[in-house]
Amino acid sequence: MSALLLKQVLNNLKMYKVISSLLEDVKGMNVLSAISVSFFFILFIIVMISVIRMRKEHAEEMKNMPLNDSNSNDEI
Amino acid sequence: MAIEKFTYDNRIAKYFAVATVLWGIVGFLVGLIIALEILFPGLNLNLEFITFGRLRPLHTNAVIFAFVGNGIFTAVYYSVPRLLKTPMFSDLLSRIHFWGWQLIIVCAAVTLPLGLTTGKEYAELEFPIDILITLIWVVFGWNLIGTLIKRRTRHIYVAIWFFISALVTVAVLHITNSLELPVKFFKSYSIYAGVQDAFVQWWYGHNAVAFFLTAAYLGLMYYFIPKAANRPIYSYKLSIIHFWALIFLYIWAGPHHLLYSSTPDWVQALGVVFSVVLIAPSWGGMINGLLTLRGAWDKVREDPVLKMFVVGVTAYGMATLEGPLLSLKSVNAISHFTDWTIAHVHIGALGWNGMMTFGMLYWLFPRFYKVKLYSKSLANTHFWLATLGMLFFAIPLYFAGFTQALMWKEFTAEGYLKYPNFLETYLQIRPMHMFRVVGGILYLSGGVLMVINLLKTAKSGKFARFEDDQAPALEKPAVTEKIHRRLEGKPVAFAVLALIAILIGSIIEFVPLFVIKSNIKTIASVKPYTPLELQGRDIYIKEGCYNCHSQMVRPFRSEVERYGEYSKSGESVYDHPFQWGSRRTGPDLAREGVKGGKLYKPDAWHYEHLVNPQKTNLQSIMPAYPWLAKKEIDIASTPGKIKAMLSLGVPYPAGFESSAVDDLNIQAKSIAAGLQNAGIQVDYNRQIIALIAYMQRLGTDVSATAETGIK
């Protein structure tokens, strides 16, 4: 039921019609992989920017977190 | 700011640690038994409950969900309170989580040998247990999120990001893949069929590896390696990049398990592309783990805990390089269905998960009991036994994989298959399987030493249940915080973003495959199974035949020559669940029933073969199934099963469920009469009759297409 509804909604979307015609065989693969990899690169660039802009003190503070816990860190 | 005092409770972490040890031994032992059963098929002593087909799912479930699962929870319940400077949110939820998870494991240990299975690899547990898993996972999530909310540290350490991503993704995977239509108590049919079921299953299967066995264990690595080495992780910035890249990319790669199958090419290509890209974030994690030890390599020489972590992280690096290589179509053409895959997964399981778990346990027990480890030399012996065990296991299987693949594909100068008898290709690799047993014995022996060592450690100390700590109350975030730093202070937003990251890949792959009809070509001659064949198919699933036999002829000359016409996507549209398999310990059965086909055998041969395989072929490694000739078909369940299939869209005539039993009886009596003519006396209502009916149906629809053509 929900699959049918989804199908109806998608069929009414112009963009979807374009994508679905591309995905009927492997020829459309180029477009899909380009879209998919673009998603990844957008995410990757956002993460890279945020990492580059990160203050060194914050990175130092974060990486030391496991060593700041209770007495369990003592040598046994 | 006022300093607040609080206390950690080690009890649940200890419970999970003990369960990890216990189920680890069980998982290794069952693995050893099934490795021996392949060598000595009579080892099950004709007992149905311990045949290879029923025990193999028990082995995989015990190792993945019992050993590694309890290992994850040990790490979570120990590290999370300390990293967040607060006890766990609820002791009651912790206890429900622990006992609920053990109940799930016990249910699995009882139902799988009974043959109560969905027939989907690594997701074999039937729907009542699936529901229980969902409930317990909610309890775990509630407890983890609750702890995050009441934390005293503003920012969340990278180990916890991995735990959050595992929590969120495993929930999505489990629920989506376990959507089943119950037929009766402990029997259901997957709502997906054929290609779609295969896709969902391997999206789940691959990402169970990605998020249960990998992401959660990266969390373990990011906490316990710095603790054991007493130095911070190499690069916090690298951990951010590697985390987001890993969780975003992993989810796309599932279809690499279906290369050259009848899934659409674009799905396979996506799986390949993202698998190759995955090398980068995976190695980011490995490099971060190993470089954490720079300047501490002198400690590695002395400390068994660090040794185990080093081998664990190295195995992770090797497995995550090998995985993308196996995803290349040219490599996969050789490796798929062979022991190469088994070797690959065991480098991950024995090396990465096993060694990381052992390292964690050897580090934790002395701290639980406030005493030195009972014997460092025993732990060192365990380290070497486990390392050698892993190598003795995997290296022979690499040889076995190459050997078998090459033999399957070799042609004579005249253009015939050089080894047309499948068994011949198995007998060649039998010595390698003997070495695998040696590897298993070494690995298990190491585990037994660990049990002794940890027990003695516990006995020589006193369990320190509570540990006091103190920290300032949670301060308000600075308005000027940058993107990721702000995100590290918002666990729920973090979880939602992680969810979005994994959903993007899932949706882009799912929607076209489910909605665009032309992705799965219909074949006019493919018809639903008869009631008897459907019952036979359920017996095939119950006995776990898919653990050794595939039903997927790949479009290679060597396979078409050996088995017959290659498999089409439209052939399995009524298969709830699909039964393509992932390993060929025995031959492919997709064309088994095609009269005049490469593998066709008469009913009488199937009867003899199932009751005593060594009677039809002395060197056969298939176990005997004598009980199939004695046990009755559950005929009363037939109308319900037909009704369920109708609900799932299988085009039986309306009201067919009411005449299904008559249909079944007619077909069964006809097969029994045929057997009687061949001198075999068997009642028509025996399970073996249904299984023979199913075997003789396999591939016949497409054989008919040769005349009718594919629509």
Q: What is the DSSP string of B453-496?
A: HHHHHHHHS----EEEEEEEPPPPPPTT--HHHHHTT-HHHHHH
Give exposure, B359-393, as e/b (b: 16+ Cβ within 10 Å). Answer: bbbbbbbbbbbebebbbeebbbbbbebbbebbbbb
* pLDDT in the model for residue B2: 83
**Could you tell me which residues come within 8 angstroms of residue B701 by beta carbon, excluding any fewer than 6 positions away?**
B523, B525, B526, B527, B571
3-state SS track over B262-301: CCCHHHHHHHHHHHHHCHHHHHHHHHHHHHCCCCCHHHHH
pLDDT category, B706, cuts 50, 70, 90? very low
Output phi, psi for B623, to 5 deg. Answer: -70, 160
Q: Is B192 on the interface with A (CB under 8 A)?
A: no
B265 to chain A, any CB pair closer than 8 A? The answer is yes
Average pLDDT, chain B: 94
Q: Do B230 and A36 touch (CB under 8 A)?
A: no
For residue B626, what are the contacts with CB-CB under 8 A and spacing of at least 6? B46, B611, B612
Report which residue type is found at B500: I
| B142, B78 Cβ separation under 8 angstroms | no
Selection from B464, B505, B485, B533 nearest residue B690 by Cα: B533
Q: CB-based contact (8 Å) between A76 and chain B?
A: yes
Residue carrying the six token digits 């009848």: B262
Query: In terms of pLDDT, which residue wins out, A31 or B53?
Result: B53
**Is the CB of residue B519 less than 8 Å away from at least one CB of chain A?**
yes
Mean pLDDT (whole number) for A49-68? 89
Residues of B in contact with A51 (CB under 8 A): 237, 240-241, 484
Q: Which residue, B608, B568, B564, is CA-closest to B587?
A: B564
The mean-pLDDT minimum among A51-65, B602-616, B657-671 falls in A51-65
B409 pLDDT more than 70: yes
Q: Tokens 């060649």 map to which residue?
A: B428
pLDDT in tens, B347-357: 999 999 999 99
Which DSSP helix (H) or strand (E) runs through B116? none
Contact B369, B14 (CB under 8 A): no
A42 contacts chain B (CB < 8 A): no
Q: Does A35 touch chain B (CB under 8 A)?
A: yes
Q: Are B96 and B136 in contact (CB under 8 A)?
A: yes
- Crossing angle of helices B216-229/B158-177, nearest 10°? 160
CB–CB contact B515 A20 (8 Å): yes
Which H or E run contains B429? helix B422-460
- Residue of B14, B516, B647 to mutate for A, most A C-beta atoms under 10 A: B516
Nearest to B311 by CA among B322, B300, B321: B300
Q: A15 falls in which pLDDT band (50, 70, 90)?
A: low
Flag whether residue B294 sits within 8 Å of chain A, measured between CB atoms. Answer: no
Model pLDDT, residue A4: 61
DSSP class of residue B7?
A: E
Please give the share of chain B, as a percent, with pLDDT higher than 70: 98
Band the pLDDT of B508: cuts 50, 70, 90. confident
Q: d(Cα B359, Cα B364) in Å, to the nearest integer?
A: 9
Mean pLDDT on B671-688: 97
Closest-CA residue to B145 (of B168, B111, B115, B121): B168
Higher pLDDT, B118 or A25: B118
Which three-class secondary structure string do you get for B372-426? Answer: CCCCHHHHHHHHHHHHHHHHHHHHHHHHHHHHHHHHHHCECCCCCECCCCHHHHH
* Nearest CB neighbour to B227, from listed A6, A23, A66: A66
Cβ-defined contact of B248 to A40 (cutoff 8 Å) = yes
- Contacts (Cβ under 8 Å, ≥6 apart) of B308: B355, B356, B358, B359, B362, B383, B386
Q: Which chain A residue shows the shortest CA-CA distance from B237?
A: A51
Bridge partner list, B472: B3
DSSP H stretches of helix in chain A:
2-11, 14-22, 29-52, 56-63
Q: Is pLDDT of B383 > 80?
A: yes
Which contiguous run of DSSP H or E holds residue B188?
Answer: strand B187-190
Contacts of A3 in chain B (CB under 8 A): 514-515
B480 — pLDDT class (breaks 50, 70, 90): low
Smallest Cβ–Cβ distance between B252 and the set A36, A47, A61 belongs to A36
pLDDT, position B690: 98
The three-state secondary structure class of B166 is helix
Predicted confidence at residue B708, as pLDDT, reads 39
Inform me whether the pLDDT recorded for B711 exceeds 70: no
Q: Which residue has the tokens 């490469």?
A: B598
Residue of B160, B248, B484 best to disrupt the A interface, most CBs of A under 10 A: B484
Task: Give dist(CA B40, CA B690) in Å, integer.
Answer: 27
Whether B159 has its CB under 8 Å from any CB of chain A: the answer is: yes
Write out pLDDT tens, residues B446-456. 999 999 999 99
**pLDDT tens, position by position, B56-110:** 999 999 999 999 999 999 999 999 999 999 999 999 999 999 999 999 999 999 9
Please report where in the chains the tokens 């190759």 appear, as a residue: B276
